[in-house]
Amino acid sequence: MYKQTSKISRSARNKSGSLLVELSCCSFMMLVFVILAVHLSAIIFGAYKNDIACRDAARAAAQGEDLSQATKLAQVVLKGHETVSFVGKPVLKSPIIYQTYNGAPGPQSSPYVELSTSTEVTLPFQPLTFFGNAQFKDGKLKFSNTYTFPIVRLK
């Protein structure tokens, strides 16, 4: 009876131990997968956010009548793209190129504005470097993008 009880008890402990080991292994792996998935999502999301912010800023800058106004318009648009999250503020890289050819572009040229933005995404682990020229620094992944849009409204 004692032995039987002992066997049953050992059997139950073995069963609990197996479950714990299984759960621990699975949980650990799932945790890794979840972290990787979150990072992957963050990377994708950050790249898209920066791309959209850069595009909108370039489009807005192209409506400016001079470099000063173009810069202001771009900054206003970037301000609108700011969010409080792991994705940082999109920042305008200076200087903006505002090329009007002195108001008289050649017949096969279009005045244009070219600007670059960068956005930092905060990640807990060192990620791989993907999406173009994204760079890892201090646990942050930095995305940069450049767009050129034609200036429509000439002074």
Partner 1 sequence: MNTFSMAPKQTRSNQGQGVIALVAIVGFFFMPLIAVFTFEIARLYLAKQELQNACDAASLAAVATLASSDNSDTTTAHKNSIQAALKILQRNFVLGNKLTSAQLASSRDDQAQNIGETKAFFEFLNPVTHAVEDISSPNAKIVRVYGSLMGTLAFGQFVGIKSLAVNAIATGAVPRFDVALCFDISGSMDDQTPISCVRRKWDPTLNGGSISYEVISGNNGVANGKLFDVIKPDATGSSLNGVPPQLLTESYWNGKMYFTEYLAKIYGVPGLRSLNGYPDAGQPPGNYPPGTAYTWDGYQAFTDMVVNIDGNPTFNAFDYQGYSFPNLNTLIEAARGNLENDAVYKSSKANTSVTVNPKAGYQKAYLDAAANRLQPMNDAKNALVTFNDILNTDADTHFGLVSFDSAVGADQNSTETWYSVDESSSYGQKKGFPLPHVKIDNAVNASNFDQVNKSIKSCVAMGSTNIGGAIHEAVQDIKNKSRLGSVKAIVLFTDGEPTLPCGPLDTSDPLRNARLAAVEARDAGIAVYTVGLAQNPAIIPQQVAILNDKNSDPSTGGIAAIAGHGGTFTEVTNSADLRTAFAKIARNLVRLIAHEANGDV
Chain residues that interact with partner 1, rule: CB under 8 A? 4, 7-8, 11, 14-15, 18-19, 21-22, 25-26, 29-30, 32-33, 36-37, 40, 44, 47-48, 51, 55, 58, 103-105, 107-110, 112, 114, 130-133, 144-150, 152-154
Nearest distance in Å: CB 125, partner 1: 14
71 or 145: whose CB is closer to partner 1?
A: 145
CB of 129 to partner 1, least distance (A): 10
**Are the CB atoms for 98 and 149 separated by under 8 Å?**
no
Between helix 2-61 and helix 67-80 the angle, nearest 10°, is 160
Nearer to partner 1, 32 or 76 (CB): 32
Q: Are 144 and 132 in contact (CB under 8 A)?
A: yes
Considering beta carbons, is residue 84 or 116 the nearer one to partner 1? 116
Instruction: Find residue 115's DSSP bridge partners.
Output: 147
> In whole angstroms, how close is the CB of 27 to partner 1 at the nearest point?
10
Q: Give whole-number Cα distances, 67 to 32, 53, 60, 61, 72, in Å.
A: 48, 19, 12, 8, 9
Distance of closest approach, residue 73 Cβ to partner 1, in angstroms: 14
What is the spatial distance between Cα 18 and Cα 107, in angstroms, rounded to a whole number?
78
Q: How far is the CB of 107 from partner 1 (least distance, A)?
A: 5
Q: In terms of CB distance, is 88 or 147 closer to partner 1?
A: 147
Could you report how far apart the first and last alpha carbons of the chain are, in Å? 101
